[in-house]
A and B are shown apart, each in its own frame.
Chain A
């Protein structure tokens, strides 16, 4: 799944549906973020929700090509300690 633009309050519901619908039936889930410019807490909540789903079934959430602005939010919220980067 490729994340693009901004994930913020005004479009978080739309992104939530897309990201959850993209969870594979088995295996790890990769979120490609090279074109994601920023993410606010509404997007972080989606990441946490998806992480929990995958963790329950023994799979990983893998985040790739994160920009410094997105990484800062993942670091500040402690999410970067738990997800896998590639």
Chain B
């Protein structure tokens, strides 16, 4: 099953985007614990796009199926400035005491840890970031 939808790149779109993810996942029979992970990853990815990319639009493409192993992937497509979260974000050193931590850098780290894979490509004037879970 493939479900696609476009949204404004705006912080006010976040609730609408989360509703889209939750509904698409429910329609595909995805278990609740995986839906929560998809919601968390979506919050991290979309908030980064809205805050830093300068994009006007975000398109989401939700793909779910069964190729012998159930899978679910989401592509986040934005028309903002080029940014590769796979290579341009630092690993978080979780052994550093909290009082010595700097703000930031946790969002993409959480996404990488919660998913089976993350990929990025630049296509024309669009960033395409895909997570598989």
Task: Give chain A nearest CB distance to B104 CB in angstroms.
Answer: 8
B106 touches A45 (CB 8 A): yes
The reply on A52 being an interface residue by CB < 8 A is: yes
A38 proximity list for chain B (CB < 8 A): 36, 39-40
Q: Please provide the 9 A-B residue pairs with the shortest distance between their CB atoms, ordered closest to farther.
A: A78-B94, A41-B106, A9-B47, A40-B43, A10-B14, A8-B43, A41-B107, A69-B36, A76-B113
How many residues of chain A have a CB within 8 Å of chain B?
28
Instruction: Contacts A42-B47, A52-B98, A81-B94 known; list 20 others, CB within 8 Å.
Output: A8-B14, A8-B39, A9-B11, A9-B46, A10-B11, A37-B36, A39-B40, A40-B40, A40-B44, A41-B110, A45-B106, A48-B98, A55-B98, A55-B99, A68-B33, A69-B36, A73-B40, A73-B110, A82-B98, A83-B98
23 contacts between A and B (CB under 8 A): A8-B14, A8-B39, A8-B40, A9-B43, A9-B46, A10-B14, A37-B36, A38-B40, A41-B107, A48-B98, A69-B36, A76-B94, A76-B109, A76-B113, A76-B114, A77-B94, A77-B109, A77-B110, A78-B95, A78-B96, A79-B98, A81-B95, A82-B98
